[in-house]
Amino acid sequence: MVPPTHDTPQEPTPERGAGPDPAAPAGGEGAGPPQDGAGAKDGGRVAALRRFAAARRRALHLTGCAALLAVAVTGGSVALGAGGDAPRVAPASAAVSPGLLASGDLDTGITALQSHLRDQPRDFGGWATLGLAYVEQARTKGDPSRYPQAERAFKRSLALSPRNDQALAGRAALAAARHDFEDALALAERALKENPYSERALCVRVDALVELGRYDAAAEAADTADDRRPGIPVFTRYAYVHELRGDVRTARRVLEQALSSASAPGDIAYVATQLGQLAWNQGEYESALTHYARALAADENYLPALEGRARARAADGDRAGAIAGLKDVVTRFPLPGPLVALGELYEAAGDRAAADDQYALVDAWTSLARANGVNADLDTALAAADHGDKAAALRAARAEYERRRTVHTADALAWALHVNGKDDEALPYARRATATGYRNAVFLYHRGVIERATGHTDDARTHLRAALKLNPGFAPLGARDARAALADLEADR
């Protein structure tokens, strides 16, 4: 796995109107256009949901945003909380061969691979690389139809060579992209049995363990990966594992080491954005803006950096700049996190109608995501708890917490319980969300509000103060509400 280095969103994907798709299970190996019903059904669902999104747009008198909702279906290169949590760049889904990407053009590389596989259909390594390229294309282009194409390519590779670690690791990356982290972990372990030094499998194993909430095991996996394959993909994961455990100093040091070793523009943008997010989480807005500026100097269209810069501007008091920045982001990549952040900025500015337009689009995104096999329960819970169907938020949060018990799912469940009036049940989850030492102002704010509601007023003051000290601009509405709640608590003393 490597950071994204070859986003080319302006160009059409090469398979559409440009010849046969080697990953389609046609009559001959590696030849012919897609023939399977799954692809057609998937395309039909996406088209129907696009029509739904367009109808919603017309009803809301929006301009252009709903029609682009399909761009966000993959879970994308920005994985965000919808309640003001810092934007987190999702690790690139898979590394593809250096030869494929030597030109810096993923689409061109895929076209070349397709041509090669039509001539050499028994090249199992080529099929595995094509599958990885499809996963990467889904991530960078927002095209979920690439997931079944990737799956078919990996199956073809494994049919030719059942134990090849490249395809096994690729399938692990695909499972992680679909948020099936148990399967991702099992497949990564299988790949590592074949090749203990597979960078891709080592990285997916860390990712899966983190997303399953198995932080001690993730730390061990990160140490192992660092011993076997040190480099940017491993360094960034190693840093995040330490950040989740409250060790910000180590996280920053490792990311700075990664940035100093980065040379490709995409790698620089990726790591600099990680440093910006780390700084933003600590309330260091000027430092965050400096890191985002470096990221954007390397890649002026890098969306995670554009979003991070907008959030940092909002926290630093530049509401107009933040709104302009987030409008640019959601026009291209309308995920729940930036949609909610933009909505909250509008709401804080008194424009409730514009805010509601953004919140409504989250529902359309959720429908699109689920139709394409992406688990959207965490996104649903975070957005709906504050800006939608509170009962639906609780159902989604419970379901996601049962699947994977992380600090993020614990926080989402705590907050969903709170907004549904179940504060006594919420409190243990709020405590779990902050138990690892992860320095997150949203979690501290949620815990403080829940403690206040359950009569733990001293603890509530402590955690509300901590949230505002750590990151006083953590969310346009949340930070405002935290200050109001703390003022009320102080007045009651």
Q: Are residues 388 and 347 in the same domain?
A: no
Residue-wise burial string across 419-428, b where 16 or more C-beta atoms lie within 10 A, e elsewhere: bbeebeebbe
Q: Are residues 42 and 157 in the same domain?
A: yes
Q: What is the pLDDT of residue 10?
A: 29
Q: Are 432 and 406 in contact (CB under 8 A)?
A: no
Cα 471 to Cα 70: distance, rounded to the nearest angstrom: 33
Q: What is the pLDDT of residue 59?
A: 41
Q: In terms of DSSP bridges, do strands 78-79 and 88-89 run parallel, antiparallel, or are they unpaired?
A: antiparallel
Q: Which of 392, 492, 472 is nearest to 483 (CA)?
A: 472
Q: What is the pLDDT of residue 34?
A: 35
Residues 6+ apart with CB under 8 A from 121: 22, 28, 29, 30, 31
Domain boundary among 352, 374, 396: 374
Q: What CATH number does the domain containing 481 carry?
A: 1.25.40.10
Domain boundary among 374, 394, 410: 374
Q: Are residues 361 and 392 in the same domain?
A: no
182-244-79 Cα angle (round to 5): 65
Q: Does any domain span residue 33? A: yes
Q: Are residues 283 and 136 in the same domain?
A: yes
Domain boundary among 317, 346, 374: 374
Instruction: List residues bridging with 89 in a β-sheet.
Output: 78
Q: Does any domain span residue 168? A: no
Q: Are 102 and 112 in contact (CB under 8 A)?
A: no
**DSSP element (H, E) containing 220:** helix 215-228
Q: Are residues 20 and 119 in the same domain?
A: yes
Q: What is the pLDDT of residue 92?
A: 40
Q: What is the pLDDT of residue 41?
A: 47
DSSP alpha helix (H) spans, 124-179? 124-141, 146-160, 165-177
Quickly list DSSP for 416-433: HHHHTT-HHHHHHHHHHH
* CA-to-CA dists, residue 40 to 23, 29, 43, 46, angstroms: 14, 20, 5, 10
Cα 151 to Cα 373: distance, rounded to the nearest angstrom: 13
In the numeric block, which tokens belong to residue 454? 């359950």
Cα 420 to Cα 288: distance, rounded to the nearest angstrom: 35
Q: What is the largest CA-CA distance in the chain?
A: 79
Q: Does any domain span residue 225? A: no
Q: Are residues 323 and 349 in the same domain?
A: yes
Give how far the C-alpha of residue 337 lies from the chain's centroid of Cα atoms, to the nearest Å: 10
Predicted TM-score (pTM) of the model is: 0.78
Q: Does any domain span residue 457? A: yes
Residue with tokens 């319980």: 417
Would you write out the chain's pLDDT as a tens digit for each of its 493 residues? 333 333 322 222 233 333 334 554 333 333 333 334 444 444 444 444 444 444 444 444 333 333 333 333 333 333 334 445 554 544 443 344 444 443 456 788 888 899 999 999 999 999 999 999 998 887 666 566 788 899 999 999 999 999 999 999 999 999 998 889 999 999 999 999 999 999 999 999 999 999 999 999 999 999 999 999 999 999 999 999 999 999 999 999 999 999 999 998 889 999 999 999 999 999 999 999 999 999 999 999 888 899 999 999 999 999 999 999 999 998 887 778 889 999 999 999 999 999 999 988 887 777 776 776 667 778 778 888 888 889 999 999 999 999 999 999 999 999 999 999 999 999 999 999 999 999 999 999 999 999 999 999 999 999 999 999 999 999 999 999 999 999 999 988 7
- Return contacts of 274-279, CB within 8 angstroms, 24+ apart: 274/89, 274/236, 274/239, 274/240, 276/305, 276/308, 276/309, 276/312, 277/86, 277/87, 277/88, 277/89, 277/308, 278/239, 278/243, 278/248, 278/251, 278/252
Q: Are 188 and 159 in contact (CB under 8 A)?
A: no
Q: Does any domain span residue 112? A: yes
Q: What is the pLDDT of residue 334?
A: 78
How many domains, the chain?
2
Q: Are residues 1 and 107 in the same domain?
A: yes
Q: Are residues 437 and 308 in the same domain?
A: no
Q: Are residues 382 and 330 in the same domain?
A: no
Q: Does any domain span residue 226? A: no
Instruction: List residues bridging with 79 in a β-sheet.
Output: 88
Cα 106 to Cα 94: distance, rounded to the nearest angstrom: 12
Q: What is the pLDDT of residue 60?
A: 42
Residues 6+ apart with CB under 8 A from 216: none
**DSSP element (H, E) containing 378:** helix 377-387
Residues 6+ apart with CB under 8 A from 72: 142, 333, 334, 335, 365, 368, 369
Q: Are residues 406 and 478 in the same domain?
A: yes
Q: Does any domain span residue 185? A: no
66-69-74 Cα angle (round to 5): 175
- Residue range(s) defining the domain that contains residue 445: 376-493
Q: Does any domain span residue 205? A: no
Burial class of residue 169, CB neighbours in 10 A (0-12, 13-18, 19+): buried
Q: What is the pLDDT of residue 211?
A: 95
Q: Are residues 146 and 55 in the same domain?
A: yes
Instruction: List residues bridging with 78 in a β-sheet.
Output: 89
Q: Are residues 455 and 319 in the same domain?
A: no
